[in-house]
C-alpha cells in the first residue's frame, strides 16, 4: 500500500483495505500460515463452506492462549472446516484431546479431511449434532473452550463452558462486537440479541473474570470475549 503516516490518523478514517493490508503485513512477518492451514482454507472454499473461519492472526492467538495455560483438553463449539480446530490442536501435547461440536455432517466431513491432512486428526473428536444436545454428554474439565457457532445460543454455550471448566480455564467467544451492533440496544437481529444476552450473562456470573476486545482485520470490524474461570460451582 502507499506509504502514509497512520500513527496520527483517526481510527475512523482508516478503511477496510488498510485492515486487510495490515493482516497481510502481519502474515508476512509472524508465521500465521503454512501448507496445511492454506489447504484447509482452500479445501473448505472448494467444498462450498462459508468463508467465516477466524483470521490467521486470530487463529494463532487461540493457539498461543491455549499453549500459554498448558492446555491438555480443549472444547470447541462450531468446527466449520476445522481451521480454528487445527490451530487449537497445535497447542496440545501429543496426549492432549480436543472435542469439537458441529451441527453439519457436511462441514464435519470437510473438517475431518483437513484435520487429518494437518496431522492433528488423532487428537480431535468431532461430535456431529446441535451443540446443546452434545454438551450435556461431555465430561470435563476442559482447560480451554472456543465458542464460535450460532450466536443466538452464546449465553447457553457460555454457561455450559463454565460448567465444563476448572478454575483457571479460559473461554474465548468469537464475534462479540459485530460491526459495533452489540452496543445498539434496539438491534433486532437474533445474532446481535444473542450476543447482548451473552454480555449480560457474563456480567452476572461471579465465577469468571472477563473482558472483550474489538478487532479489525480481514474479517472486518468485530471482536471476541475472553473469560477466565475462577470457580465452577453454580
Ligand atoms: N470455528 C470455525 C468457524 C465456525 S463457523 C473456524 O474459525 O474455523 C460456525 C459453525 O458453527 C458452522 O460450521 C455451523 O454449521 C456451526 N453451527 C451452527 N449452529 C450450530 C449448532 N447449534 N451446534 C453446533 N454447531 C453449529
Ligand atoms: C459469521 C459467523 C462467524 O463465526 C464469523 O466469525 C463471522 C461471520 C456469520 O455467521 O456470518
Ligand atoms: Mg466466528
Closest protein CA for atom 9 of ligand 2: 52
Tell me the Cα Rg of the chain: 18
Phi first, then psi: what are they for 5, rounded to 5°? -85, 95
* Residue 191, SS3 per DSSP: helix
CA angle 71, 177, 19 (to 5 degrees): 90
- Tell me, in angstroms, the distance from the centre of ligand 3 to residue 207's CA: 24
Mean pLDDT per 10-residue run, the chain (234 residues)? 54 84 96 98 98 97 98 98 98 98 98 98 98 97 98 98 98 96 94 97 98 96 97 82
**pLDDT score for 10:** 64
Is pTM, for the whole model, over 0.85? yes
> What is the spatial distance between Cα 62 and Cα 130, in angstroms, rounded to a whole number?
23
CA angle 177, 216, 106 (to 5 degrees): 70
- Tell me, in angstroms, the distance from the centre of ligand 1 to residue 12's CA: 31
In CATH, the architecture of 15-229 is 3-Layer(aba) Sandwich (3.40)
Domain definitions of the chain by residue range: 15-229
- Spatial neighbors of 145 by CB under 8 A, at least 6 apart, are 74, 75, 76, 77, 161, 164, 165, 169, 170, 171, 172
Composition of the chain by helix, strand, coil, percent to 5: 45, 20, 35
**pLDDT score for 14:** 81
Residues near ion ligand 3 (CB < 5 Å) are: 148, 174-175
Amino acid at each position: 500500500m502507499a506509504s502514509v503516516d497512520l500513527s496520527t490518523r483517526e481510527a475512523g478514517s482508516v478503511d477496510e483495505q488498510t485492515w486487510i493490508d495490515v493482516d497481510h503485513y502481519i502474515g508476512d512477518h509472524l508465521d500465521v500460515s503454512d501448507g496445511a492451514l492454506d489447504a484447509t482454507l482452500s479445501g473448505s472454499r472448494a467444498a462450498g463452506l462459508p468463508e467465516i473461519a477466524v483470521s490467521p492472526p486470530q487463529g494463532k492467538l487461540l493457539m498461543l492462549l491455549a499453549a500459554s495455560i498448558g492446555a491438555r483438553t480443549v472444547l470447541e463449539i462450531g468446527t466449520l472446516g476445522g481451521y480454528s480446530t487445527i490451530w487449537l490442536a497445535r497447542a496440545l501435547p501429543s496426549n492432549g484431546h480436543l472435542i469439537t461440536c458441529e451441527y453439519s455432517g457436511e462441514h464435519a466431513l470437510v473438517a475431518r479431511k483437513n484435520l487429518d491432512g494437518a496431522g492433528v486428526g488423532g487428537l480431535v473428536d468431532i461430535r456431529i449434532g446441535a451443540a446443546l444436545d452434545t454438551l450435556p454428554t461431555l465430561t470435563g474439565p476442559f482447560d480451554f473452550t472456543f465458542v464460535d457457532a450460532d450466536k443466538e445460543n452464546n449465553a447457553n454455550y457460555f454457561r455450559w463452558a463454565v460448567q465444563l471448566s476448572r478454575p483457571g480455564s479460559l473461554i474465548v467467544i468469537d464475534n462479540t462486537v459485530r460491526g459495533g451492533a452489540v452496543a445498539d440496544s434496539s438491534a433486532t437481529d437474533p445474532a446481535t440479541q444473542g450476543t447482548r444476552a451473552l454480555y449480560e450473562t457474563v456480567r452476572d456470573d461471579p465465577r469468571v473474570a472477563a473482558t472483550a476486545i474489538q478487532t479489525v482485520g480481514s474479517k472486518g470490524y468485530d471482536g471476541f470475549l475472553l473469560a477466565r474461570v475462577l470457580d465452577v460451582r453454580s
